[in-house]
Structure 1
């Protein structure tokens, strides 16, 4: 009698830790390795904006644990890292997802990184077990917040939880490249400027814009700009 073949073990979540304090990075790695077992694989780390962008683009992790306040870049810390990695996919072909991990629980910090594209925000008071669970949830596409921080996001975006879910559902219709094109168009870039910025042809830009408009059921780039601005995506 032949038994049912066992399912292959799930691949570990590939994680990059970004923080300007080496001892903190070391502590996070040690804690996650202890509590997460084979669920998480720490594949890289970085101490500043520019190194973080380079490491993320090179190693293509599933999740980036991102400090909010970092040296380098344009002086915006974690927001600069998010901006520099907007078109990067993980090795599994899905967007690299970001979980902010910060000592700060200030509303302006939370709102800034969420608007820039982070999937969640937890403070450094979190336990190792809860952090491991948060990393795995973010890798699966969930949004994760420390308890009192979720209210900042709801207040800032002026939406109920159902409305946020609706926005996410609409964004999920777009590929990562389409999202990148959408953001540039919404910022007022011309097609040739988008092409130059993304190193693609003007024809490819036109194709992406047409696809975005179709998926979002919009009729013009002006409607697209209003749609993006209304959701704080630009």
Structure 2
């Protein structure tokens, strides 16, 4: 059976969705905000997370924050009332594998869960265009970003992304199993190679290039 975690801040929607999913989907649990979702994903390791994009808690990043804070390899299918390009592209850039609106039937959601679990990407028809347009426009920017990133070592890139996301030096050290002094050294090298003067400029640089 494909295991599922339902993440939505409306309990009545969670219970309704649970009852509408096909019997071959094993719902491991539910979560209602960013922090409880991150905890449940780490603890339950579901095959697919059904995720609303607008969630309370955490650092205010909603569903996209849940995706970024979850273990690599976790598969997410966004399921939201919103059909705005900003919401769709934001959560897909964070790493979700698909996006459905809440007008979808239980049968459609169940079929999409199985597709995402198998590695496919799934979108409501109108929303797929948002993703194609966004990633097509980003192609040219990515070439420039790649040239800039080539100046950094693999470890420097890891440190750069964490610092740009707002991690403190000590948190980066814990995440990467290195010393705080080594983190400081890498940050200095990153700023020098990218010709930036502060971590605030680094965050702006990474955000503009969609590297967060």
When the two structures are superposed, what TM-score results if normalisation uses the length of structure 1?
0.64
How far the C-alpha of 1:180 sits from its partner, in A, is: 11
Q: Against the structure 1 CA distance between its residues 183 and 45, is the aligned structure 2 distance closer, same or farther, given a 3 Å change threshold?
A: farther
Q: Is the 8 A contact 2:67 2:96 kept in 1?
A: yes
Secondary structure of 1:68's match? coil
* Number of the residue aligned with 1:72: 57
- Could you list the runs of 5+ residues in structure 2 that have no partner in the other structure? 140-153, 183-192, 195-205
Structure 2 residue 7 is the aligned partner of structure 1 residue 22:
no
Matched, 1:37 2:23: yes
Residue 108 of structure 1: SS of its match in structure 2? helix
Query: Offset at 1:37?
Result: 2.3
3-state SS in 1 of match to 2:58? coil
Contact 2:4-2:48 at 8 Å conserved across structures: yes
Runs of 4+ in 1 over 6 A off after TM superposition: 228-231
Determine if contact 2:28/2:46 at 8 Å carries over to the other structure.
yes
What's the TM-score, normalizing by structure 2?
0.71
Query: How much does 1:194 deviate?
Result: 7.9
What is the number of residues matched between the two proteins? 174
Equivalent residue, structure 2, for 1:92: none
State the alpha-carbon separation in 2 of the partners of residues 79 and 181 from structure 1.
24
Q: Given the alignment of the two structures, is residue 142 of structure 1 paired with residue 128 of structure 2, yes or no?
A: no
In the alignment, is residue 102 of structure 1 matched against residue 80 of structure 2?
yes
From the superposition, tell whether residues 185 and 154 of structure 1 become closer, same or farther in structure 2 (CA, over 3 Å).
Answer: same
Taking a change above 3 Å as real, the CA distance of residues 51 and 195 of structure 1, as seen in their structure-2 partners, is closer
* Alignment partner, residue 41 of structure 2: 56
Q: Which runs of 5+ in 1 are unaligned?
A: 1-11, 90-94, 164-178, 206-220, 223-227
Q: Secondary structure at the match of 2:64?
A: helix
Cα RMSD for the two superposed structures:
3.1
